[in-house]
Structure formats: structure tokens, C-alpha cells
A and B are shown apart, each in its own frame.
Chain A
Amino acid sequence: KAGVTQTPRYLIKTRGQQVTLSCSPISGHRSVSWYQQTPGQGLQFLFEYFSETQRNKGNFPGRFSGRQFSNSRSEMNVSTLELGDSALYLCASSLGTPNTGELFFGEGSRLTVL
């Protein structure tokens, strides 16, 4: 059974640009969550999608957005990049219901903003 796949693994952008990250969940999983990981802030919850609907949202500005497609694949977008957006962005999938907190994480997309 294939795990959670995130693309791209590494990317470099400059301030003001926008970026789109992709996540393919484990087959059969309907929930996809996104987290931002930085050395200073740890793992911060961005949002969760379940059956193409945003079910939960963290405390990030509107520059951070996401969506989920009918095949459960998800994308997140960050517009008008800032230096502080440099981080490892982790995607995690789960069955979604019931919500047990048992997540399967991908290896992450490491974003560097210059």
C-alpha cells in the first residue's frame, strides 16, 4: 500500500511569489491535513480537508489556502511569500471518520523563501 506522497520535495522561491504544494493520500483515506513545521514553532496545524470540504482550520493568514479534489488528493497554496514562510510543509492523511488523530504523514515539502 503506497504511503502519502508529497511533491515537490524541495523548492526555492523568492519573496512575493506564490507556491503550490501537492499531496496524494493513502488510497481510501478521505481526510488530508496540512502542517507547517519550523524549528522555532514546531508543528502548526494549517487546515484539514474531508470529502472536498475544509473541516478545520488553524490560525494562519488568508495567504495560506488549500483544496481537495474528488480523488482525495489535496493541494495547498501560499501566496505573496514571506521569508518566514520558509518551513517544512507536511501533509497527513487518515480515514477521516471517526477522527481518531491517527495520521499518516508524508515526507514533506521543504520550502525556502529567499
Chain B
Amino acid sequence: GQQLNQSPQSMFIQEGEDVSMNCTSSSIFNTWLWYKQDPGEGPVLLIALYKAGELTSNGRLTAQFGITRKDSFLNISASIPSDVGIYFCAGLLAQKLVFGQGTRLTINP
């Protein structure tokens, strides 16, 4: 089945730093999404991308849908303590949503 390779698996950064994570696949996806999961809660949608090449921002978050439709990246600028959590990429193909393994973000104040 389709698999999404998300990297890095974990990140340890200082507050105020920028963060970048990405997701790649051998399959072509029609939609890429990014979710964030806080401890003890379910994932929450951050950004959805529907067109190849699309660049979308949500506050300090920016995500892009790769031109090849096989990859996507998420950037977080000027990180703050509440950015801590696990970030998941997800790709939609043939009505099925496939998730990456997640990037665990830890921030040192």
C-alpha cells in the first residue's frame, strides 16, 4: 500500500527557531494535509493543499504541495512553546487518507 516517509522523526529546537519538516512518497497524491497532535488529544488539521505547487500559510505555518505531487513540506517560523507536539502529514488518494509516521517537536525555552 501507499506509504509516506516523514522526516525528521523528532526535532529538538530552541524557542524562536524556525522548523522545517517534509513528507515524501513513491505514490502521487491528489491532496496533502498537515495535522498536529497535542498530548492526550486527537490530531487537528493545520493546513490542506489541493493543487501541485500550491503554497499555503496559516499564521506562522507555511506548507507546500510539491510539483511532482509526491511530496510536501511544512515550515513553522519563530517557534513558541505551544508548537510542541507531533506533526503528521497525510495524503489523500482513491478516497483513502494515509498518514506519515509523524515528527515529534520539542522546544527548549
Contact = CB atoms under 8 A, between A and B. Distances in A.
Given A56-B96, A106-B42, A107-B40, A101 B88 contact: no
Interface residues of B, number: 23
Interface residues of A, number: 23
A43 B3 CA distance: 11
Main secondary structure of the interface of B (DSSP, over half): strand
B58 to A, nearest CB: 13
Contacts, number: 55
Interface in A89-114: 90, 92, 99-108
B11 interface: no
14 contacts: A4-B42, A42-B100, A56-B96, A59-B1, A92-B42, A99-B95, A100-B31, A100-B50, A101-B31, A101-B90, A103-B35, A103-B43, A107-B41, A108-B41
